[in-house]
Structure 1
Amino acid sequence: MKHEGTPKGTATPDADGLGPAANPELDPGFGRHRFGGLSSKLLLLTVVFVMIAEVLIYVPSIANFRNTWLMDRLTTAGVAASVLAETNTLAPRLQEELLKTTGAVAIALDQGAQRRLIAMSNVPTQVDFVVDMAEVTPLTSILGSFAILTYRGDGVMRAVAAGQMGHTERVDIVFPVALLQQEMLAFSGRILALSLVISGITAALVYITLRAIFIRPLRRLTRSMEQFAENPEDGSRIIKVSGRRDELGDAEIRLAAMEEALSRALHQKQRLADLGLAVSKINHDLRNLLASAQLFLERLEHVPDPTVNRLAPKILATLDRAVGYTQAVMAYGKAQERAPQRRLIALHRVGEDVADVLGLVDHDTIQFENRIGETLEVDADPEQIFRVLLNLTRNAVQALEAERDGTLVRRISLSAERQANCVHIEVHDTGPGIPENTQRGLFKAFHSGAKAGGVGLGLAIVAELLRAHGGVIELDCDQPGTCFKIQLPDRTT
């Protein structure tokens, strides 16, 4: 559809990116009753199909009418032939009446060796059609009927049939073709009129029935979609299922499910937009606070205390990472992490840094085991692999700290080994494990399997960072507790 001010061949999307067909306000003809609508097409097709059926009925009917008409005339002539056979003569008045009744111009009786004239008004000059009723078949009847209907002229036709007195006698009549043609045309007119009446009644009944069964429910679906499109977030606009047990009922159920899913998705989208705005505001202020904390730590580095001198650089490095994360959040716009800047790093040292940040070195209840070999090197982005192990270990710490039973073993272990050009890493804890109902969407954003109050971004971030490295992560359900297995390949040259 071409809109005013729109170049030909250019689509004009609406605010949601949909075309005119998806937005009724942009389509002036949307929802109007048009002659080409389903209702009009249904009515027209019903009339056409009924007329086709009537034509199929008309063809054998007109042939049967011709044969019946001819047999009536031949029967009347056969009665006269019987009288002639008895009296050997036929009165002139009876001959005239016989010709008038049959419409014939000549009637004869063929007795094999002898041919006798029963009655005659005019001598026929040329016979255009000859019909022997003993040799008539359905096909010849149909073809002969249409030949008579399309005949143009003033000729005569001859009809022959067995007489009334025996098989050796044959009645022979000759009559104008126009007489039978007029009768057949009159019969055709009656058939046509009757067909029109039947077509009208049938079409009306079929139209009313199908309109009630199909057209109205389809319009109800259309109105429901229009109302829902006006405000998809309004759950009250979702179509109410009528309970029909047919295809339209299935369509209603599918439409209701789709609208409900779309409404939920839009609700979640709005919540995420609000969350993103809130995170941006909090992150802006948090970055300033972290900068102030860095200044204070830089002053503490000059304090002559061994503990301060040992911990201050680690805290400062952690604050540097936090400031880097806040800057990344403020620059966030493409919904993806930056490309990895891969280097050869000592994975054992990364594990030690994670333990220091989470306070696992001197933890009261949780035992931390770094089983990664000190000589194992991994080709990865240092900051991103640190975040991967930090998120996984933090989740394990939260799961173990939530347990109140003092007899439980609380242990987190990191292990890794190299196989060819791929490093296999395991993060294993002795916690309660992840419930089966949350495992399916475990690595999707906002599908938290951690403690109550978690946002559900940690594992999604881990999966995204590993995908950027060409690696994968999976949950090993065969081991007790929670065990995540990571495959991190070296970069390809």
Structure 2
Amino acid sequence: MKKASEDRTVLQRHASHSDDENVGEELSPARIAIQNGLTAPKQAWLKLGLPMKLLVLTVIFVMLAEVLIFVPSVANFRVNWINDRLMAAHLAALAADAVPGGNIPPPLREELLTTAEVQAVAWRRDGRRRLVLPPRAPLAVDAHFDLRSRPELGTSHEILVRLGLIGDALRVFVGSGQRTLRVIGPLGNNVDDFIEVVMPEKPLRAAMYRFGLNILGLSIIISFVTAAMVYIALSRLLVQPMMRISRNLVRFSENPEDQSRIIVASERNDEIGTVERELADMQQQLTQLLRQKNRLAQLGLAVSKINHDLRNMLANAQLISDRLSALPDPTVQRFAPKLIASLDRAINFCNDTLRFGRAQEAVPRRELLLVKSILSEVGDSLLLPRENCIAWEMSITPATLRIDADREHLYRVLSNVCRNAVQALESTEGDRSGGRISVKAWRDGRKVVLDVEDNGPGIPPRVRETLFQAFRSSQRVGGSGLGLSIATELLASHGGTIRLLETESGTTFRIEIPDRSPHEL
């Protein structure tokens, strides 16, 4: 029997557990519906525009402020209403006390109690307590309230009393209104005297409801009027300018290259005016940048088209130069190797035409080179010196100075810088004689420093800011502005730098190339 009882208990627990699981499974759609119901207001709020959100929030905040005003107002109304009843009860008590012999006729007592809206009145005067207007029938008091002030208890007690009055007022609203109240109030200037009344709560509740409805209606009107004024003010000051900015951003994103879509900044001096001006500058820069990118793309396409034909032309010139090198003429034998080397470089440049704009140049193959030989080669390629036109000076300390660099990269750097100097001297108006290009080289610790100096017209201040940026630093008509940009990139691959030195006249570039660290050798 015991075993059977235990089996039944186990079965009942199992069945109960199964029922709980089934209930859980049945409630899962309800839970999903509740979750959907919770997320629906959030989605609806996100769909609202900024003006509507501002209006709703303004109404909510003003109504919240009205609620904060309403609660103490209702509590104050309750106290005033009860004080009015105490005052009426005091007058009724004085009238009853004036009756000769103290025997109040029942009709008079009923009229006094009805007029004062109380059920009984008692007072304490001159140290004696007396029931002035007795009740019609025995009463059961449900709540007691003492409205006498106690300044001797301090400010904290007054605050607690005020909060208690607010709580009492709210209990009147939520209660049934069928309670009987006993209220004690001050009587005259003597602190020991007081008046005591017993009154029904129902008239108080009705009066508070009427007052509450009046306050509610007035609060709604004030809320909407205030919300409308705040909405109009904030809409003009903040919302409309922000919507203008957002519309401009959408319109500008459709065609950033159209300058007519750039926002026109207002003359405001606040944060929104600052945003408009900064946005206008940013859009202007972006439009110029996109136009420059398009021009670069078109330039790249054009270069790629001529690259094939140019390589063929240079290949033919290379074949002809090879045949010229077979002639026994001494002058031909002197210049043919240089011509062949120049053609080889030109062909390599054609093959690497589109290299600019990639992540980086080819990794430099560094070796120790004689600076003098590189500079001589650069001078020969540029036909320097040029008699009665451009002098070519080299000052290398010591004469056997070696530099740790890629030969081809270093040649391109020096060639670009010196070619710019030659072009600057050739562009000088008037007498072009007396031009001079000098290169000084020396070792400074673990780096080699080269100064390339010319006595040309110098570089204008407006060009210096973009001097080493591609396609923006050229001063010569038809120039591409790539020379110094390529030189900067090639030197960066060596860990070196190039910069413009401040000089009173002419132009001086300083090139610094550090030696490789021991672990890189």
What does residue 258 of structure 1 align with?
Answer: 282
How many angstroms does 1:394 deviate by? 0.9
| Pair 1:71–1:246, CA change in 2 (3 A) | same
What does residue 339 of structure 2 align with?
Answer: 315
What does residue 237 of structure 2 align with?
Answer: 213
What does residue 29 of structure 2 align with?
Answer: none
Corresponding position: 1:71 with 2:83 = yes
How many residue pairs match? The answer is: 462
The letter of the residue matching 2:72 is: P
Corresponding position: 1:56 with 2:68 = yes
How many angstroms does 1:246 deviate by? 3.2
Deviations along 1:81-124, whole A, 9 cap, x unmatched? 22234333444333212211222111224333251422532221
**1:114-129 pair list within 5 angstroms:** 114-129=129-144
Q: Retained in 1: the 8 A contact 2:355–2:361?
A: no
Q: Retained in 2: the 8 A contact 1:416–1:426?
A: yes
Q: Retained in 1: the 8 A contact 2:446–2:514?
A: yes
Q: 2:419 aligns with which of 394, 416, 426?
A: 394
Q: Retained in 2: the 8 A contact 1:283–1:330?
A: no
| Pair 1:286–1:335, CA change in 2 (3 A) | farther
What does residue 10 of structure 1 align with?
Answer: none
How many angstroms does 1:202 deviate by? 2.2
Q: 2:478 aligns with which of 453, 459, 463?
A: 453
**1:67-216 pair list within 5 angstroms:** 67-88=79-100, 89=102, 90-111=104-125, 112-135=127-150, 137-152=161-176, 154-163=178-187, 170-216=194-240
What does residue 25 of structure 1 align with?
Answer: none
The letter of the residue matching 2:138 is: V
Range that drifts further, 294-303 or 266-275: 294-303
Aligned equivalents of 2:393 and 2:493: distance in 1? 28
- Helix, strand or coil for the counterpart of 1:371? strand
Alignment identity in percent?
43
How many angstroms does 1:473 deviate by? 1.1
Aligned equivalents of 2:176 and 2:458: distance in 1? 98
| Pair 1:344–1:34, CA change in 2 (3 A) | closer
Q: 1:233 aligns with which of 257, 260, 277?
A: 257
How many angstroms does 1:64 deviate by? 1.4
- Helix, strand or coil for the counterpart of 1:400? helix
The letter of the residue matching 1:108 is: A
- Helix, strand or coil for the counterpart of 2:477? coil
- Helix, strand or coil for the counterpart of 1:120? coil
- Helix, strand or coil for the counterpart of 2:450? strand
Range that drifts further, 401-410 or 104-113: 401-410
What does residue 443 of structure 1 align with?
Answer: 468
- Helix, strand or coil for the counterpart of 2:185? strand
Q: Retained in 2: the 8 A contact 1:148–1:181?
A: yes
How many angstroms does 1:331 deviate by? 6.1
Deviations along 1:136-188, whole A, 9 cap, x unmatched? 85344334333444445743212233446977754321112333233223322
Aligned equivalents of 1:165 and 1:332: distance in 2? 101
- Helix, strand or coil for the counterpart of 2:234? helix
How many angstroms does 1:132 deviate by? 3.6
What does residue 346 of structure 1 align with?
Answer: 370
| Pair 1:134–1:443, CA change in 2 (3 A) | closer
| Pair 1:167–1:262, CA change in 2 (3 A) | closer
| Pair 1:133–1:151, CA change in 2 (3 A) | farther
Aligned equivalents of 1:134 and 1:418: distance in 2? 97
Q: Retained in 1: the 8 A contact 2:390–2:433?
A: no
Q: What RMSD over aligned residues (CA atoms) do the two structures have, in Å?
A: 2.6
The letter of the residue matching 2:296 is: L
Deviations along 1:255-314, whole A, 9 cap, x unmatched? 222111111111111111111112222332221111111112122223332111111111
The letter of the residue matching 1:336 is: Q
- Helix, strand or coil for the counterpart of 1:133? coil
How many angstroms does 1:475 deviate by? 1.4
| Pair 1:51–1:33, CA change in 2 (3 A) | closer
Q: Retained in 2: the 8 A contact 1:130–1:159?
A: yes
The letter of the residue matching 2:484 is: L
Range that drifts further, 112-121 or 305-314: 112-121
Aligned equivalents of 2:432 and 2:285: distance in 1? 45
Aligned equivalents of 2:382 and 2:85: distance in 1? 116
- Helix, strand or coil for the counterpart of 1:340? coil
Corresponding position: 1:366 with 2:390 = yes
Range that drifts further, 355-364 or 64-73: 355-364
| Pair 1:343–1:197, CA change in 2 (3 A) | same
> Any unmatched runs of 5+ in structure 1?
1-31
Q: Retained in 1: the 8 A contact 2:388–2:433?
A: no
Aligned equivalents of 1:116 and 1:332: distance in 2? 110
Aligned equivalents of 1:330 and 1:472: distance in 2? 23
| Pair 1:151–1:362, CA change in 2 (3 A) | closer
Write 1 or 2 for the structure with the bigger share of helix.
2
What does residue 9 of structure 2 align with?
Answer: none
- Helix, strand or coil for the counterpart of 2:128? coil
What does residue 11 of structure 1 align with?
Answer: none
Aligned equivalents of 1:66 and 1:325: distance in 2? 97
- Helix, strand or coil for the counterpart of 1:175? strand
| Pair 1:430–1:166, CA change in 2 (3 A) | closer
How many angstroms does 1:472 deviate by? 0.9
Aligned equivalents of 1:403 and 1:55: distance in 2? 84
The letter of the residue matching 1:343 is: E
TM-score in terms of structure 1 length: 0.86
What does residue 442 of structure 2 align with?
Answer: 417
TM-score in terms of structure 2 length: 0.82
| Pair 1:404–1:64, CA change in 2 (3 A) | closer
| Pair 1:409–1:272, CA change in 2 (3 A) | same
> Any unmatched runs of 5+ in structure 2?
1-43, 151-157
**1:244-283 pair list within 5 angstroms:** 244-283=268-307
**1:321-332 pair list within 5 angstroms:** 321-329=345-353
| Pair 1:443–1:380, CA change in 2 (3 A) | same
